[in-house]
Structure 1
């Protein structure tokens, strides 16, 4: 037997060890790449799910904030029939925020405005809790114009008694309706803003005859 024969098993063993080490390193690299891909896919799925949840919340909650703004319109027209409302509309009629602190409509929600007339509120506690989080933070009334309509009278020269004149006022009402919006005063507190919060700005022009 050749004197080189005893060394051959060691050479083969060294080559096999080097090959196994290279394969182990490649498997580690492939595993890390796969983990990275899975992590990116998971982050993408989470982002899409969050975005879709916000869209669903916006669709579900936007009508509630719009309803809060429309409640402002109802309450403002009711206020015009009060003595203070008549004094305002018969006066200068300057812009007046009814919903600011200390004013007649401060802190109003849609809960009381949605109770049918002459009936007790028998709605569920969950509905009341949701409706109680829908309010308007601003309800500005402003008189734009007034027109007078003369009453019906007789032919001139036959009598001096004509009918009473009536006034029709053109009033603009601007409302900010909120649902689930934490406020500091009349400003949104962004620290506690939630993804299912909603805010709507509405404006309407009405003709009002006392």
Structure 2
């Protein structure tokens, strides 16, 4: 399948969207809904009330951000903690507390791990990332990588939580294009290709393909 730069960033954005939806749904035992539209934006930002960011690097590189209002941050934190069995009376009740911010950072770390794994299985490309950093902020902050990417491609994806609170993830990547090295992928994996060798992961890739077809 041929890819242009725009097609590549859009498909990577869809993979990140799938990773975010699945990770948060599993962590909170609740429904997370992806908006049917991906937005092309000129830059990425940290936005109130809580912003969490992480740089990824390797065969492909860029910046991932998740922005949440106080209500949805508290919702995701409390639902994930309750699902793990912590008593409600022991949980933080203010989104500015360290427990909430740290919890969001850990969720973003899980999202990154899922997304990198899916990209590796789909494209054979590997990247790493630093520990995500979450902060409480009161105003918008423009984000960029210290060594500027050449014509970075930026996308924003919207979500809704089970309690109907909206939040967003933003993705900035180098201007890269993923091009298949072989016309027939079977030459890479044999007559019956299974890129991951893992039925669960292959099913996830099928879910992504259906998501791509529907958007």
TM-score over 0.5 (shorter chain): no
Higher relative contact order (CA 8 A, sep 6+): 2
Give the greater-gyration-radius structure (CA): 1
Q: What is the TM-score normalised by the length of structure 1?
A: 0.30
Greater fraction helix: 1
